[in-house]
Chains A and B, each alone.
Chain A
Amino acid sequence: MTFTRSTTCMFILLSALGPRLLQAQAVTAEGIVERVNRVMSPASIYCRAKMTITTTSGETRTFVYDSWSKNHGEKNLIRYLEPVRSRDQATLMLNHADDIWMYFPRTGRVRKLATHARRQKMEGSDFSYEDMGSGDTFVDDFTPAIVREETMRDSLCWLIELTRKPDADISYSRCLMWVTKGSYVPLVIDYYPENDPQTAEKRLIQKRITLVSTYPTAMEMVMRNLGDNTETVMEILDISYDLDLPDSMFTERELKR
C-alpha cells in the first residue's frame, strides 16, 4: 500500500484539525453548560471557607464556615464557626434549596423557611441562599445560547447567555457567563434581576483557579452587588471532593449538632 503526496497531506491536515473539527461539532451551549455544571457542582464537596463582606461604607465583616454538599448540590449543610455571635448557627438546604431549615443555637430553635427565604442574603453577604444551594440551576432552570467567543482576563472564553425557563422558580431572569475554553470554568457570571433583564444586578468573579483532585477550583470568588456597590469575597481554606457523605448528615438531627 502506497500513499500519494496528496493523501499524505490530507492525513496530516485531518490529524491536525480533526480534534478541533470534532470539538466544534460537539460544542453546543447545552454541552458547555453541562460541563460547567460538572465543574461547579461535583457529586459531593466538603469546604471550609472564609467570607469577607465589604459594605458600602467600606466596613468589613468576616465569617468562617464549614459546608458539605451532596448529589451535585441537591443537599447542603452549612455550619458557622466564626464570628462568635454566629457560632454553631447552621442552615440545611434540601432539594436545591427548595427546603431550608435554620438552627439558632442561642434559642435552640429550628425554623423551617419557605422558598422565598432563598432570596435573603446569607449573613448579610452578597450571596443569597439561592446562590449557595441551587446546585444544578444552570442546567435545570435556564436555556443556554452561545453569544460569541471573546477574551476575558487573558483567557479565550465562550460567552454564554442563560435565559430563565418559563416555569423555573429562580430569582434571576438571565445570566451571562464567560466560560474558559478548555477548563470549562466560568471566570465571570453576571446575574440579571427579574424586573430589569438589561442591567446586571450582581457579578461573580472566580479567581485563583487551581486543580484540586480532578476539579478546576476557584479558590477565591468575589460577588459584587453592582447596584449597592458592595462585595463579598469568599476564600476557600480547605476543600475536598467526591467524599462518601451519608444521607444522615443532611437531616435536622445533624443540623443541631
Chain B
Amino acid sequence: MKKRLTLAAAAVIISCRALAQEPVSLYGYYEFQATGARIGGRFVQLSSNKLRLDLKADPARNVTVGANVNLITWHGKTTWNILDFLPPSLTETIPETVRPWYTLPFRDRIYLDNAWVRIALRYADITLGRQQLSFGSGYVWNPLDLFNTRDVLDPAYEQPGHNALRADLPLAARVTLTAVYGPADSWEHSTKQALLKIGVARMDITLSAAETRWNRHDYETVSEDPLQPGFAPAPAQRTLIGGALAGEMAGLGVHAEYARNCMNPGRDFTEFSGGIDYTFKSGVYLLTEYYRNSLGRTGSGDYTLNDWMRFLAAEQKTAARDQVYGLLQIPLTDLASLGLSTIYVVGDGSAALVPTLSWSLLQNVELTAYLNLYTGRSGSFYAPGMGSGGMVRFRIYF
C-alpha cells in the first residue's frame, strides 16, 4: 500500500509539474495531525499525514479550472469500533457476530477532492464538477446545507468537494439566484436546490427550496441483500423549504437559519440555528449559536443506536434536540490566539469544552491544538465515554 501511495504521489507531482507552465498555479499543503483520546480506561492515539495538491488555471478568458488531490496515510489505532464509545445499555444486546460491522476504519487514501471548471458568462457563473458547496449563515450548524455536516469541535475545517452543476445568476445589485444540481442515479434521487439571496440594508436574506434523497441507514437492522451486506438502507425523499439571514442588529452581528423538511417516508422535521457575535475593541471575539433539530432527543436516556450511528456516520447533524455553542477567541500575541468553545446540550445537561490554540509559527507554518473535554453523565451526548482527548495539527503551506 505504501509503495502504491508513493508511486501515486510521484505521478501526481510529476503530472502537475508537467502542467506547471504559466498560467497554471500549483500550491497546497502538508498536514500532520495527531489525535489522542481516553476510551475505556486506555489512552489511544491516531495520527495522519495529509498532502493536498491544488492546481488552478485560466485556460481561456472567463474560464477557470481548479482541482485538488488529497493523499492521506493513517497511523496508530486505525480501526475504531463505534460501540466502544456508546453506553452499555445500547450495546449489550448486539450479537457478537454483528459487532464488527460497527467498525470505523481509517484507510490510507488518494482521492480527487475537487475538480471543476467555472465559466463566467455575462449574466451567470456556471461551475461544473466536484466543487465546494457550502450554504447558510450559521457558523457550526447550517440547516440549509444539504451537502456538509460540520465537526462541532473544528467547524472551520475545509469541507469535501461534491459533484454538481451550479449556476449563480446576479439578478440585480445584491440579488443573486443560485441553482445547484447534484446528480445521482436518477432525477428523483438527485439533489436540486435553489437559493435566492437578497441584500436589504445591512442584512443578507436568503430563501431556499430543495429536494434530495437522504441516504440514511437503519443501524439496528442488517441488510438481507447478500450482494450488499451491511446495514439496511433507509433512504427517504427530503423536501426542504427554508431561509437564512446574516447581518447586523443593534451593533451585534446576527445570523439565523431555518429549514422545514418534509420526509417521505418518515417524520417531518425542522431545524433552526441562530446566533450573535461581537468583536470587542481589544480584539476579543465572542460568538454564540443556538441550534434546534426536532429529530433530536431531549433526554440522556433517549438516544437510540440509530441516533448515535447516524450522527457518527455524519448522516444526521446531531442526535440532541437543543444545543448551544459558544466561542471566545482571545488574541495572545500578533501570531497566536487562544480560543474556548463550548457545546452545551440543553436536554441532558452535558457539555464539551474545547480550549484551542492557533499559532502562526512561521510564514507558511501553522499550529492548531485543542483539547476536547466531555463533562456529561454516562449516556449523555457529551459523556466522558465518548473519548475526552485532544488534537495537534501542523500545517505547512507551499
Contact = CB atoms under 8 A, between A and B. Distances in A.
B202 A119 contact: no
B278 A56 contact: no
Contacts of A167: none
Interface in A81-124: 83-85, 87, 98-99, 106-109, 111-117, 119-121, 124
Contact of A117 (B137, B279, B360): B279
Interface stretch (B42-50, B246-254, B340-348, B379-387): B246-254
A108 B159 contact: yes
Nearest to A60: B363
Contacts of B333: 55-57
Q: Which 3 A-B pairs have the closest CB atoms?
A: A108-B132, A114-B253, A114-B248
Nearest to B250: A114
Given A107-B132, A248-B170, A251-B173, 9 more contacts: A83-B364, A84-B364, A85-B397, A115-B248, A119-B280, A119-B281, A124-B360, A252-B176, A253-B170
A143 interface: no
Contacts of A57: 333
B277 interface: yes
Interface in A224-255: 228, 230, 247-248, 251-253
Contacts of A193: 281
Interface residues of A, number: 41
A230 B333 CA distance: 10
B92 interface: no
A90 B131 CA distance: 18
Nearest to A62: B363
A61 B204 CA distance: 34
A108 B200 CA distance: 23
Given A62-B363, A108-B133, A114-B253, A84 B397 contact: yes
B132 A112 contact: no
Interface string B247-264: 110011111000000000
A136 B131 CA distance: 39
B269 to A, nearest CB: 25
A137 B277 CA distance: 25
Specify which of A61, A85, A113 lies most central, judged by the most chain B CB atoms within 10 Å of its CB.
A85
B334 A113 contact: no
Contact of A107 (B156, B364, B397): B156
Contacts of A87: 27
A153 interface: no
Contact of B134 (A108, A114, A121, A228): A108
B398 interface: yes
Interface string A54-84: 0111011110000000000000000000011
Contacts of A53: 334
B10 to A, nearest CB: 22
B279 A119 contact: yes
Q: How large, as a class, is the contact surface on chain B?
A: 35 or more
A194 interface: yes
Contacts of A119: 279-281, 283
A171 interface: yes
Contacts of B197: 252
Interface string B343-368: 00000000000000000100110100
A107 B248 contact: no
B253 A117 contact: yes
Contacts of B363: 60-62, 83
Interface string B129-146: 001111001000000000
13 contacts: A85-B364, A85-B397, A107-B158, A108-B133, A108-B159, A112-B204, A113-B253, A116-B253, A194-B281, A252-B174, A252-B197, A253-B176, A257-B120
A193 to B, nearest CB: 7
A109 B139 CA distance: 10
B313 interface: no
B170 A251 contact: yes
A61 B174 CA distance: 35
Contact of B159 (A107, A120, A230): A107
A112 B397 contact: no
A228 to B, nearest CB: 7
B272 to A, nearest CB: 19
B29 interface: yes
Contacts of B248: 114-115
B360 A61 contact: yes
Contacts of A61: 335, 360, 363
B281 A114 contact: no
Specify which of A59, A114, A193, A228 lies most central, judged by the most chain B CB atoms within 10 Å of its CB.
A114
A255 B360 CA distance: 25
Contacts of A83: 363-364, 397
Contact of B281 (A56, A59, A171, A253): A171
Contacts of B159: 107-108
Contacts of B281: 119, 171, 193-195
Contacts of B364: 83-85
Contacts of B279: 116-117, 119-120
Contacts of B64: 257
